[in-house]
Amino acid sequence: MRVTFKLETFEGPLDLLLHLIDKNEMDIYDIPIRLITDQYMEYLSMMQAMELDITSEFLVMAATLLSIKSQMLLPKPPVMDNMWEEEYYDEDYDPRAELVQKLIEYKKYKEIAEHLRDKELERSLIYTREPADLTPFAPKRQENPVEGLSTADLMWAFRKALRKMTSRHRVTKIHRDEISVKDRIKQVLRLLDREGGKLLFSSLLEDDYSRGDLVVSFLALLELMKMKRIVCFQHRLFDDIVIQSREDDYEVAIEEAQISY
């Protein structure tokens, strides 16, 4: 009976080392190099037993761990002082420093990658629809009739309009309809007949009468008085003129009267 073991896959030797450090709850700044090296070598042996491909990166890391382990067992190498040409031992020298720095950087990028992966997962749960054409719902913009015109264009159009106005010399006179004295006499006689033979001079004039209407009406009264058709009088000075038909009125044909204005 053949038994198959499933091993956790790692992206590289640094990933495997971080896994071993977290699993043993080690301090990354003070790695027990002997213990971590032994566990690393055990994992490589397990991969070989499972006939898994071991990349060169894992073998290089194994050699690095063995080198650091041997340096930890050996006494610290002396350092030459060029000024005094004397040998002394660096108490702060730690062969694990370079490996620790690599692990810290790798852990930082790994955490960032996991954060981006979580964001990708959250975004994958959001479903969006394709952008729709919202042009029919957009408010209709009224076209500007002077769009694209500058101040100079407007000044040119204004000057052109002024030139057209100055070139016009046509003058139009409006003549209002005028009534003759003969027609006014006929109107006065009709009014006297309708009002019972008596009326005031002011009643002959409308509210918007002109000076010509006043003169024509006054001349008509003079002609009627000359023809002895009416009498005019005032009760007091500057009162309204009272127009009254004569009792001994006799018919005089207006058409035959010598009135040509």
**Residue 2 and residue 90 in contact, taking contact as beta carbons nearer than 8 Å:** no
* Per-residue confidence (pLDDT) for residue 77, from 0 to 100: 60
Alpha carbons 37 and 20: distance in angstroms, whole number: 10
Going from N- to C-terminal start, the domains of the chain cover 13-124, 181-245
* Per-residue confidence (pLDDT) for residue 3, from 0 to 100: 35
* Per-residue confidence (pLDDT) for residue 1, from 0 to 100: 35
* Per-residue confidence (pLDDT) for residue 4, from 0 to 100: 35
Q: What is the pTM of this model?
A: 0.37
Residue labelled with tokens 């690095």: 64
Alpha carbons 65 and 71: distance in angstroms, whole number: 10
Cα four-point dihedral sign 225, 228, 229, 230: positive
Closest-CA residue to 167 (of 159, 155, 157): 159
Closest-CA residue to 220 (of 249, 195, 183): 183
Q: Count other Cβ atoms within 10 Å, centred on residue 246.
A: 14
Beta bridge partners of 144: none
* Per-residue confidence (pLDDT) for residue 233, from 0 to 100: 86
Say yes or no: domain 181-245 is CATH 1.10.150.650: no
DSSP string across 93-155:
--TTHHHHHHHHHHHHHHHHHHHHHHHHHHHHT---PPPP--GGGSPPPPPPTTTT--HHHHH
Low pLDDT (below 50) residues in the chain? 1-7, 88, 250, 252, 256
State the Rg of the chain over Cα: 63
* Per-residue confidence (pLDDT) for residue 148, from 0 to 100: 78
